[in-house]
Amino acid sequence: MKKIWLVVIGVVLLASMVIGLAGCATDNRINTGNGNQTGIWVSGTGKVYATPDIAELSLGVEAQAATVAEAQAIANEAMSDVIAALTAAGIADEDIQTQYFSITEVTTWDPGKEEPVITGYEVTNTVVVTIREVDEAGDIIDDVVAAGGDYIRINGINFTVEDPNIYYAQARVLAINYAKAKAEQMANLTGVELGEVIYITENSYMPSSNYYDGRVVAVPEVGSTSISIGQLEVTTTVTIAYAINN
């Protein structure tokens, strides 16, 4: 079962801060003039925390040989073994997508000729794998590393949620409620009557969670890879402007 923690963040406004707004930089302001920003402007932020239910694993194979044909044959065989391991682990075909493929020259510097010379070729084949049972991510990494051997490359793993909209909706409620409470407090402290909403905007954000940074090439000899899923912070910030009733 997913666990969600709800947190509302903000700053409590003091009466002295409201009265002394002139010349101060703030997201909360009262303007009774005739400009475009007439009214009470407030901002509010809501946060929720979600347990990831999707892991996106970037992995591939890399092989070098004297000729392109030899390097490609090695890479093809290694990737076939990796795909077979993924299939055996229950990964569907539609959850495996090629991300990158390249054939490049391998060169070394020839001091006699004072120029690089080709010594072979390198084939790189990378796929992104969607793992829908995140608790199995560590075991799947072990499986593909064993299948790919010395040719395997683990580029990184990213955690996310399949449907972020439910978390954005929860964070939005918190943000709007907090902004409204601030506007009501500012109106009460300054002796004005809060009117209708004349402007509202929203900015939502859910950063990805990365486990690996860089390519992992070592084959574990003992035990299994441990993966920490952690939590994702979903943030929504709203800015609302209220009219001031005369």
**pLDDT category, 24, cuts 50, 70, 90?**
very low
110 and 180 inside one domain: no
The DSSP annotation for 26-52 comes to -S-EEE-SSSTT-EEEEEEEEEEEE--
**pLDDT category, 212, cuts 50, 70, 90?**
very low
Share of the chain above pLDDT 90, in %: 71
- Total number of domains in the chain: 2
Give the lowest-confidence range in 25-39, 77-91, 101-115, 178-192: 25-39
**pLDDT category, 20, cuts 50, 70, 90?**
very low
pLDDT value of position 110: 87
114 and 60 inside one domain: yes
**Who wins on pLDDT, 113 or 234?**
234
**Nearest Cα to 153, choosing from 36, 19, 62?**
62
Task: Give buried/exposed letters for 109-129 (b at 16+ CB in 10 A, else e).
Answer: eeeeeeeeeeeebbbbbbbbb
**Who wins on pLDDT, 241 or 227?**
241
pLDDT value of position 209: 61
148 and 58 inside one domain: yes
Look up residue 242 and give its amino acid: Y
Assess if residue 71 is contained within a domain: yes
| Position 27 pLDDT exceeds 70 | no
| Position 167 pLDDT exceeds 80 | yes
- Give the model confidence (pLDDT) of 197-207 as tens digits: 999 999 998 87
Half-sphere exposure of 195 (CA within 13 A, CB side): 15
Tell which of 137, 159, 181 closes a domain: 159
Q: How far is CA 46 from the centre of its chain?
A: 18
58 and 148 inside one domain: yes
| Position 213 pLDDT exceeds 70 | no
Alpha carbons 207 and 161: distance in angstroms, whole number: 11
Radius of gyration (C-alpha) of the chain in whole angstroms: 28
93 and 142 inside one domain: yes
47 and 168 inside one domain: yes
143 and 72 inside one domain: yes
**pLDDT category, 9, cuts 50, 70, 90?**
very low
Domain boundaries, position 154: 54-159
183 and 105 inside one domain: no
207 burial (CB, 10 Å; 0-12 / 13-18 / 19+) is: exposed
**pLDDT category, 1, cuts 50, 70, 90?**
very low
Neighbours of 156 (CB within 10 A): 16
pLDDT value of position 200: 96
Taking CA atoms, 77 is separated from 62, 72, 81, 90, in Å, by 11, 9, 6, 20
pLDDT value of position 138: 95
Alpha carbons 124 and 20: distance in angstroms, whole number: 63
58 and 46 inside one domain: no
The DSSP annotation for 66-116 comes to SSHHHHHHHHHHHHHHHHHHHHHTT--GGGEEEEEEEEEEEEEEETTTTEE
87 and 43 inside one domain: no
Give the lowest-confidence range in 10-14, 37-41, 67-71, 100-104: 10-14
133 and 145 inside one domain: yes
Contact of 238 with 201, CB cutoff 8 Å:
yes
Assess if residue 104 is contained within a domain: yes
Which SS3 state, helix, strand or coil, does residue 231 take? coil
Contact of 63 with 122, CB cutoff 8 Å:
yes
pLDDT value of position 7: 35
Neighbours of 236 (CB within 10 A): 24
**pLDDT category, 31, cuts 50, 70, 90?**
low
Tell which of 101, 128, 159 closes a domain: 159
CATH number at residue 102: 3.30.70.2970
Which SS3 state, helix, strand or coil, does residue 55 take? strand
Look up residue 76 and give its amino acid: N
Alpha carbons 147 and 87: distance in angstroms, whole number: 12
**pLDDT category, 223, cuts 50, 70, 90?**
low
**pLDDT category, 28, cuts 50, 70, 90?**
low
CATH number at residue 240: 3.30.110
